Amino acid sequence: MSLLVLVHAETEGPGVLGRVLQDHGHKLRFINLYQNLPLPPDLDNVDGLVIMGGPMNVDETAQHPWLVEEMACIKSAHQAGLPIVGICLGAQLIAAALGGEVKAMPQAEIGWHALKLAFPGTTDPLFAGTPGIRSSFICMDRK
């Protein structure tokens, strides 16, 4: 699979996830959006999107105008049936691109929390073989 990895900050690359994807035979193509690099004009040679986190929020389009184009790309990928994974800001962008609402939380959640997969995550191949409930470190102020 050829995966398009959208990066929002120099410090927000795929890390271990990138190595795991490559170890499983996926070809990664990185676009550093924070350097104002353009998105591809179409997704013809893309098999899926990996959308990384970043220091900005989805509603900061005035400061980061490329977020608007990125959400259009996400919507196109979804309409084409491509798999999409979003981490932190990436999840915000997916939600907003597909009509969801992302808003500030009254208080940030920081610390270790139990996470439980909800359906359809329990049947998604991405999570095959993982425990249904796991502990994870969370740092977020949007929901």
Contact (CB, 8 A) for 50 and 21: yes
SS3 string, 3-18, reads: EEEEECCCCCCCHHHH
Please report, as a single letter, which amino acid is at residue 75. K
Are 49 and 109 within one domain? no
Helix (H, G, I), strand (E, B) or coil at 92: helix
Residue 113: domain span: 103-143
Are 92 and 37 within one domain? yes
Domain boundary among 100, 116, 134: 100
Strands 133-142 and 104-116: antiparallel
Are 134 and 65 within one domain? no
Tens digit of pLDDT at every position of the chain (143 positions): 899 999 999 999 898 889 988 988 999 999 999 999 999 999 999 999 999 999 999 999 999 999 999 999 999 999 999 999 999 999 999 999 999 999 888 888 889 988 887 877 777 776 666 777 778 877 777 76
Question: Which residue do the tokens 């999107």 mark?
Answer: 49
Are 42 and 96 within one domain? yes
pTM of the predicted model as reported, rounded to 2 decimal places: 0.86
Are 95 and 123 within one domain? no
How many CB atoms sit inside 10 A of residue 64's CB? 19
Looking at every residue in the chain, the average pLDDT score rounds to: 89
Are 89 and 130 within one domain? no
Domain of 45, CATH number, reads 3.40.50.880
Are 128 and 116 within one domain? yes
